[in-house]
Amino acid sequence: MLMDSRYDVIISGAGPSGSLLGYLLAGRGINTLILEKQEFPRHKICAGGLQHRSLALIPFDISKVVHKSLHGILFSYRKRDVFSRKYMLPILHTVQRSEFDAFLAKKALDKGCSINFGETVTGYAPGKDIIRVDTAQRSYEARVLAGADGIRGAVHRLLTSGSSIMRILGYETERTSGPEEEKKYYDAAGLDFGGIKNGYVWAFPRKKIISYGIGAPFSTARAMKSYFHAYMNGKSNGNMTDIKAQSIPVRTENTPVCSYRVLAVGDAACLGDGFTGEGIYNSLKSSHMAAESIDNALRTSRFDFADYRQRIWEDIYEDIKISLRFSKVFFSFPIFFYKLFRTDERFFRLCCRVLRGEKKYRDISGRLNLFG
């Protein structure tokens, strides 16, 4: 197969981490191509919740694609004992992922990054001077390959082959919101605890739509579906045949994030939050780290990405480890934490500050003295 094109960097995948990375690299004058298997806009299984702290990582205004900015959370325990909490500043924003992803990709294009839609990376072969990147249509040459292709992509599969990964299972469905739900979720997301072991149900409102979902370990899949059916009973258009499943990867200590001339960002690097299952914040954060590391590698011709590996470990994985420990404690005593949200205003505010990026999980663990 003939080599058709050569780039400094090729990125596999135009999701949030891939498009942001393309935008950042193009802004540095680096010749970058994104290869995306689907045509945009495309449907994406996702709750569409964007923690406020993510906005600081996006170097342009995204207000055009934000549906709602939420200040509160409506808590329930097994669909009962409902109460609400409000914070003075936005803690969560909701987006339609098809719109959000297409918007980020357009920003990358406008910045000078090239994107080939409808072209899937099928494999790669690192060499001394270049890395060959293969698709079904052709082969490319690059100095660096970045995997932003999620857990089903070729870069992720080849890079993490044989390594241990934790996966959180999520089921999600969308419902047109009626007047009662519009009022109920006007300025709040819904969280329901206690109905499923080691998991929770969410309700994220968008424009005329509410994304309902449930997340928990894969081992509870059958119980998850059963409780989700019970939770959704009586909702408008309550047909449950249209639920979609997604997998949220969470790294372990030995999950690879890079190899020679290759690095992974976002879900491809297994950067999901161990408590909430949210992945966009760490995805965007990893793109900033990757852009700096790639720029340095291109200038020094050192392509082991040791600096990137170290930053992922120190600035992302350390927080993931704490999120996993917090998850274990939280879901061992869900009723205790549920009552804590209800009775302790300071604890709720602290959690909101984590979502806003003003605090980290270690601040919550320190506040409760959970881990010694």
Assess if residue 304 is contained within a domain. Answer: yes
**Interatomic CA distance for residues 110 and 152, integer angstroms:** 28
- What CATH number does residue 261 fall under? 3.50.50.60
pLDDT at 369 (0 to 100)? 63
Structural domains of the chain, count: 1
Q: What's the 3-state SS for the chain?
A: CCEEEEEEEEEECCCHHHHHHHHHHHHCCCCEEEEECCCCCCCCCCCCEEEHHHHHHCCCCCHHHEEEEECEEEEEECCEEEEEEECCCCCEEEECHHHHHHHHHHHHHHHCCEEEECCCEEEEEECCCCEEEEECCCEEEEEEEEECCHHHCHHHHHHHCCCCEEEEEEEEEEEECCHHHHHHCCCEEEEEECCCCCCEEEEEECCCEEEEEEEEEHHHHHHHHHHHHHHHCCCCCCCCCCCEEEEEEEECCCCCCEECCEEECHHHHCECCCCCCCCHHHHHHHHHHHHHHHHHHHHHCCCCCHHHHHHHHHHHHHHHHHHHHHHHHHHHCHHHHHHHHHHCHHHHHHHHHHHCCCCCHHHHHHHHCCCC
- Cα(49)–Cα(323) distance, integer angstroms: 18
Indicate whether 204 belongs to any domain. no
The alpha carbon torsion through 290, 295, 301, 304 (nearest 10 deg) reads -10
User: What residues make up the domain containing 311?
Assistant: 3-45+96-164+251-334
- The reply to whether 128 falls in a domain is yes
Please tell me the predicted confidence (pLDDT) of residue 131: 97
Asked, for residue 302, whether it belongs to a domain, the answer is: yes
Structural domain contains residue 283 = yes
Q: Residue 303: what pLDDT?
A: 97
- Averages of pLDDT over runs of 10 residues in the chain (372 residues) are 74 97 98 95 82 96 96 95 95 95 97 96 94 94 96 92 86 89 92 94 93 93 92 63 85 92 96 91 97 98 97 93 90 93 93 89 70 48
Q: Give a yes or no: residue 89 inside a domain.
A: no
Given this model, what pLDDT does residue 94 score? 96
Q: Is residue 295 part of a domain?
A: yes
Q: Is 112 exposed, middle or buried (0-12, 13-18, 19+ CB in 10 A)?
A: middle
Task: Report d(CA 227, CA 231) in Å as an integer.
Answer: 6
Decide: pTM greater than 0.85: yes
In a domain, 356, yes or no: no
Q: Which of 149, 164, 185 is nearest to 69 (CA)?
A: 185
